[in-house]
Amino acid sequence: MLLLEVYVIESDGGKINQMELKNKTIFVTGAAGFIGSNLVRELLETQSPINIIGIDNLNDYYDVSIKEWRLEEIEKTANEHRESMWTFIKGSIADRETIDKIFKNYCPDIVVNLAAQAGVRYSITNPDVYIEANLIGFYNILEACRHSYDNGAKGVEHLVYASSSSVYGTNKKVPYSTDDKVDNPVSLYAATKKSNELMAHAYSKLYNIPSTGLRFFTVYGPAGRPDMAYFGFTNKLLKGETIQIFNYGNCKRDFTYVDDIVEGVKRVMQAPPEKKNGEDGLPIPPYKVYNIGNNQPENLLDFVTILQEELIRAEVLPADYDFESHKELVAMQPGDVPVTYADTSALEHDFGFKPNTSLREGLRRFAEWYKEFYLN
């Protein structure tokens, strides 16, 4: 007989069942990625003893040394928590054989799919890799979850996967709510993320796989992705190059600090949607989608001002740096949207949690990390 360790927490929205993560086996894809690596470290630090298997293909979409540094940080954390197990596998989720072998050997209780080819603009020039990682890769994960129940096995208790705020496209209504229609993506990247939600819903319905999609809003922080604006701007300013600010600065982004994202993921992992049948006796899909954003969009020009102040404070740039001569206001790029703004009320209601790291605090931590990583 299967015994699930479950406890109840109080949230602003009442009581929801929470599953204990300790002693669970967790499979994290994209484990050397920005969110994935931070999640692994957080789980080791707060949920030990725990067994974590991570996979990443360590591709060169951006500087691999950052991914290697993240893995080194995970190793340090794992060494401080010897009661836990950390296993890293270099491989691609698009390789069906690799995924099937991991599920067979480790029998994960919870799967967190954070592996994806990221980037809106890159999807316009390199569409193939998005189909491979975001569609075929996710299909392989879903199939492995489906077959985890074969022969009466306990199988996967919860599949959590990364979606994106990009699914909202050019929706005019803000803040973006998970109740809004998201049928008009403006990039292939956004289309693959919407496809992930649809595929997960189908598998939840057909095979009763509890799944939760998380629409992340503009994640930033130390050791983030160099293709993100705050990181790319810093690199260019340091080289004396000009930074381009799109839509003439009239863009707003719901910048969300990585620690807040990770806390949201951790809480969601513990609360799989309930399995139950409808009046027809068939499963009601155990399926949920949440926004995780700061619920506070910032104007790009204000963001650049705070970034430059924090780069000076951290001594990444000199106090007399001439920012005005290194800024260029340009038109909107294909695939971009003018505003992202998360309605996080469902997350608050179900988990009593709302991201709350201020942009200045987050960019300060990034600037301090940047100096340590690149300049010391």
- Catalytic machinery residues: 189
Cis peptide before 175 (omega within 30 of 0): yes
Strands 243-245 and 219-220, by their bridges, are unpaired
Q: Is 14 helix (H, G, I), strand (E, B) or coil?
A: strand
| Cα distances (Å, whole numbers) of residue 353 to 32, 45, 220 | 26, 20, 19
Strands 211-216 and 158-164, by their bridges, are parallel
Name the phi and psi angles at 215, rounded to 5. -90, 100
Give the single-character DSSP code of 342. B
| Number of other CB atoms surrounding residue 3 within 10 Å | 5
8 Å CB contact between 315 and 273? no
Question: How many Å apart are CA 353 and CA 349, to the nearest integer?
Answer: 8
